[in-house]
Amino acid sequence: MAAIADVQAAPAPAPAIPQRNSRPRHFPVWRWIILSLAGLYFLIPLWAALKFAGVKAFGQVSHQSGFTSALGLSVRLAVITTVLTLVLMVPTTVYVHLRLPRLRRALEVITILPIVIPPIVLIIGVLQIAPASLKATSNLLALEYVVLAMPFAYRSIDTGLRALDLKTLFEASSSLGANWLTTLWRVVVPNLRTALLSAVVLTVALVLGEYTMASLDLYQTFPVWIVLFSQDSGPVSTAASLLSLFVTWVLLMAIVTIASQSSRRRGGAEVALFTVGRRETGDSR
């Protein structure tokens, strides 16, 4: 037995590695050049801003007057906008996919309009027709942000839905006794988790960075506060901008990482913000 065990335990000779595989992966020089140029294009302004602000300014940001209320308003708007966007867009997009697939192209065109039409045009139109009671609250701003977030939210949800056999899932669920809402909540939404997370992060990033509408509506959101405060202290204002940018970036990276892990566990593919892939499930075995 010992002899057998020894033989079994003996390390197998290492297989010869083909010469071709041992070569470093070929990566042309011109690719490095383009990558470096693009990196410099984005990093130089950040580096300049960081240098201008100085490290001390980051510690002072949260102590400035108006910071808490501005950030609080922006966060509140982000929450309201996100909830409204999802509540409106998820059932609408699912319904169009399921029952009105011919309207998908029309919906794509409609949802791209907020990108095509400048925000300043939208806000002037809204201010003309909005009732006074709505104008008196920041909720009007949230409603405007829902429109602004529509292109991003729609595309995220649409991409997620394309990865599902929605018709079969609904019919299977229905045959088991589920109504439309139950299927939406228990079957579709859990399978859209990554797409929804993507829509949420994009919406939050948009709300936290939007300036034009808030400024014209005379609300001091975080971006408006940054601009106003820059007149008092440029370095602190710049530090706040960099913090905002960093937090948004961390959020985006977190969603891609978490969603990819979650997706892989359930058979999906890598996740990017606008592409939610799903492997073909099951072979014919």
Partner 1 sequence: MTTETTAGDTATGGRRTGRPGGTKRDSAGLSLTLKNLHRSFGTTRALDGLSLDIQPGEFVALLGPSGCGKTTALRIVAGFEAADAGSVYVDGRDVSAIPAAKRDMGMVFQSYSLFPNMSALDNVGFGLRLRKLRGSARSKRALELLDMVGLTDQARQYPHQLSGGQQQRVALARALAIEPQVLLLDEPLSALDAKVRLQLREQIRALQQRLGITTLFVTHDQEEALSMADRVGVMRNGKFEQVDVPDQLYAHPKTAFVAEFVGTMNRLPGTLTEAGNVSVLDEMLPVREGTADGLAGDVDVLVRPEGLRIQAQPGGNGIVTDRAFLGSVTRIAVQLSGDVAIKVDHPSVRAGDFTPGASVHVTLPAGDPVLVAARL
Nearer to partner 1, 198 or 238 (CB): 198
Query: Per-residue b/e over 165-175, b at no fewer than 16 CB within 10 Å?
Result: ebeeebeebee
Nearer to partner 1, 95 or 249 (CB): 95
Q: Which residues contact partner 1 (rule: CB under 8 A)?
A: 164-165, 168-169, 171-179, 182, 186-187, 190-191, 193, 265-268, 278-279, 281-285
Work out the angle between the directed axes of helices 222-229 and 234-265 (0-180°, nearest 10). Answer: 150
Q: Minimum Å distance from CB 186 to partner 1?
A: 8
Nearer to partner 1, 165 or 270 (CB): 165
Nearer to partner 1, 22 or 281 (CB): 281
Rounded to whole angstroms, how far apart are CA atoms 237 and 235? 5
Residues in contact with 268: Cβ distance below 8 Å, sequence separation at least 6, in sequence order: 163, 194, 262, 276, 277, 278, 279
Rounded to whole angstroms, how far apart are CA atoms 198 and 277? 13
Nearer to partner 1, 6 or 283 (CB): 283
Nearest to 239 by CA among 53, 114, 46, 3: 53
Tell me, what amino acid is at 214?
A
Q: Minimum Å distance from CB 16 to partner 1?
A: 35
Q: Minimum Å distance from CB 253 to partner 1?
A: 24
Q: Minimum Å distance from CB 220 to partner 1?
A: 42
| DSSP label of 280 | P
| Rg (the chain; Cα; Å) | 25
Q: Minimum Å distance from CB 251 to partner 1?
A: 24
